[in-house]
């Protein structure tokens, strides 16, 4: 619990402003993409000028000092592009398999809905020694972000942190990513 003002007499128990804004603009979709899943649709948040600005600013603060931000297909690179613009860095889109022309570097992994593969270009992007922050919209089990970190590390990058808009704490993704620092704007 925090307190407002100098006297400390008025308790304040509200969520941080960015987290409250995220919650107010997140659409809950039951049984999507499969039965039993409570999908967090952040499309209304990203379509809202104030919401997108708040998320971009908060993630840019986290990624400050990075040489490059990497966004995970597809909502992650939407947010990562805005963060990169704010920071004056480049952005690398980590794509689902089959979306990039060859040659590519690939990483196979298991996510909450089954096996998957992600890719980055194998040529013309020098990652060796670059400090990279991985950005995604939602952290669930951690499989996708862990695969992205492995892929970038294999390409020579130093992955310094992961940053997400929403973390689903019950799925223990943060623990799966340890010791990588994970920053969440909202935890549900």
Active site residues: 75, 112
> Given the structure tokens 């840019």, which residue do they identify?
60
For 54-70, b/e burial (b = at least 16 CB within 10 A) is bbbebbbebbeebbbbb
Are 38 and 52 within 8 A, CB to CB?
Answer: no
Beta carbons within 10 angstroms of residue 47's beta carbon:
10
* Eight-state DSSP code of residue 6: S
């Amino acid at each position: 619990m925090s307190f407002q003002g100098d006297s400390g007499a008025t308790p304040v128990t509200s969520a941080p402003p960015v987290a409250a804004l995220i919650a107010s603009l997140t659409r809950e979709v039951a049984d999507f993409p499969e039965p039993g899943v409570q999908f967090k649709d952040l499309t209304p948040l990203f379509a809202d000028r104030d919401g997108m600005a708040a998320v971009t600013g908060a993630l840019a603060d986290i990624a400050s000092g990075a040489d490059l931000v990497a966004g995970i297909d597809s909502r992650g690179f939407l947010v990562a592009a805005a963060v990169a613009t704010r920071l004056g860095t480049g952005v690398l889109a980590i794509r689902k398999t089959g979306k990039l022309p060859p040659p590519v570097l690939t990483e196979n992994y298991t996510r909450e809905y089954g096996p998957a593969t992600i890719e980055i270009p194998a040529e013309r992007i020098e990652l060796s020694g670059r400090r990279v922050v991985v950005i995604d919209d939602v952290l669930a089990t951690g499989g996708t972000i862990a695969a992205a970190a492995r892929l970038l590390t294999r390409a020579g990058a130093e992955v310094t942190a992961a940053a997400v808009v929403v973390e689903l704490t019950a799925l223990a993704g943060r623990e799966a990513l340890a010791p990588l620092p994970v920053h969440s704007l909202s935890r549900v």
